Structure 1
Amino acid sequence: MNTAVALDALFTLPRGLVLTLALTFASLAAGFVISVPLAFLRGSTNPWASVSVLAYTYAFRGTPLLVQLFLIYYGIGQLSFVRQSLLWPVIREPFWCAFIAFTLNSTAHTTEVLRGGIQAVPQGQIEAAKSLGLSRLHTIYLITFPLAIRIALPAYVNEVIGMLKASSLASTITLLEITGLARQLVSETFAPYEVFVVAGAFYLLLTLMITRAFQALEVHWSRPNKPPSVAIASSPKKRPKPLLTTAAS
């Protein structure tokens, strides 16, 4: 193993860390916001809404992310009305193409994850909210959604880690994130083993940090709430004086 090349990669690859994290967490955040209403539509009793969302999630979960990325980056630009529209300045940039592809893919996966959490919420909790007179919107906001998030958290961690690793596909459309810089360094040094071992170590470290962060969040949410402390008066309570009864004369 060439130590000099490995040290060069160790100081070069962190320059792509910002782009990797920006693509990963921006796509996850946008996908989560979009997936929340889609998850409720997916689990609704309305067949038209449920089937429409199912078709979307099935299409994006059933096809490779690399194919989706190429269709957006190479395919959409071939359409003349897209090149003449206001979206063209965005579509022609590789960063935004990767962001759109990652967001659409993350939305599909997150929708199914949240849908499973929503369906796992105990029905008794919802019936109790109805008995208290809460509206449907308040029940979703106060009962269903918080419980669904806690139930779906372990599965959502896998989606976050999967999106982090999938961000390496952005290197195929000229973006210089961690993998893109690694490929560029390999073309200069002809030492793929040393460079990609360092790149893999960076991804492994990021995965460990994400896992630990979600574990801490899960422990925090599962911690029982402490009852409020009762203040004890410093002075002892006075006993009530006994009633004085007089004998009838």
Structure 2
Amino acid sequence: MNFDFALIMTSIPQLLEGIGLTFQLWFLSAILGLLLAIALMLMRISGKWFLYVPAMVYIYIFRGTPILVQIFIIYYGLPQVEFIRESFMWSILREPFGCGILALTLNTGAYVSEILRGGVLGVPKGLGEAAAALGISKVQRFIYITAPLAIRLSLPAYSNDVISLMKSTALVSTITLLDMMGIARIIVSETYAPYEIFISLMIIYLILTWTTQKIFALLERRMNRHTIQ
């Protein structure tokens, strides 16, 4: 097998043509997934069965099934539902991009909700009890005491999920989207050089992963700069 190093260097600029779509999928699904995760987390800790039971079922389904299966169900399955085709959702779901965003959002929301819930449960109960003794309301305790500490506790695990989400965006190439993975597959079909092309893609993803890790490490240091060790 002849390994063409020059092909790696020439293919990287071609692959980067799809990085814009990768970033769109990554950032939009991360933001929407975080909003969904906050709602699910609040439902889980509400103590009301009609809120936490649906949230638990949702989380179990999306954490217990492969994201690729979820993408296929949304892309191939939902358009078959007449109600979907006649609703406002059809303007979103008739396009592969909308299906990709929806699948990634629903999946990451389930995982991040458990990360946030773990952060909330990790806050010492004594802090809330002390605040309650001072007459601080439950909502104020959550906003000013529990939430900031929970964010600090959740940040390391959340950064890992954000990186995992970035890598999961490659799966949308299976529904005709030309992100970096989609472009890589086209180049492979033209050059018959899968090793060089996918190694080039791996290099790009490693750089993105390293950069994301550094950003979150900096954010974590800034958030903990006043913490007493």
**When the two structures are superposed, what TM-score results if normalisation uses the length of structure 1?**
0.87
**1:122 maps to what in 2?**
124
> Any conservation in 2 of the 1:17–1:177 contact (CA below 8 Å)?
yes
The residue identity in structure 1 corresponding to 2:97 is: F
**1:14 maps to what in 2?**
16
d(CA) in 2 for partners of 1:30, 1:21: 14
* Count, aligned residues: 226
d(CA) in 2 for partners of 1:75, 1:45: 34
d(CA) in 2 for partners of 1:104, 1:123: 31
> Any conservation in 2 of the 1:150–1:221 contact (CA below 8 Å)?
yes
Q: CA deviation at 1:92?
A: 0.8
**When the two structures are superposed, what TM-score results if normalisation uses the length of structure 2?**
0.94
User: Which structure has the larger Rg over C-alpha atoms?
Assistant: 1
Q: CA deviation at 1:25?
A: 1.5
d(CA) in 1 for partners of 2:87, 2:143: 38
**29-38 or 164-173, larger mean C-alpha shift:** 29-38
Q: CA deviation at 1:44?
A: 2.9
**1:239 maps to what in 2?**
none
Q: CA deviation at 1:225?
A: 7.2
d(CA) in 2 for partners of 1:120, 1:32: 19
Q: What are the residue-to-residue correspondences of 1:133-172 with 2, within 5 Å?
A: 133-172=135-174
Q: CA deviation at 1:64?
A: 0.5
What is the aligned counterpart of 2:96 among 89, 94, 118? 94
Query: Normalized per residue, which structure has more helix?
Result: 2
What is the aligned counterpart of 1:3 among 2, 5, 9? 5
What is the aligned counterpart of 2:44 among 42, 45, 49? 42
> Any conservation in 2 of the 1:5–1:189 contact (CA below 8 Å)?
no
Question: What fraction of aligned residue pairs are identical, expressed as a percent?
Answer: 44
Q: What are the Cα deviations for residues 37-84 of structure 1, in whole angstroms up to 9, with x where unaligned?
A: 321221232233222211110000000000110011000111123223
Q: Show structure 2 runs of 5+ residues with no match.
A: none
**2:85 maps to what in 1?**
83
RMSD over aligned Cα atoms: 1.4
d(CA) in 1 for partners of 2:181, 2:54: 36
Q: CA deviation at 1:100?
A: 0.4
The residue identity in structure 2 corresponding to 1:192 is: P
1:40–1:87 Cα change, 3 Å? closer
d(CA) in 2 for partners of 1:40, 1:91: 28
What is the aligned counterpart of 2:108 among 103, 106, 109? 106
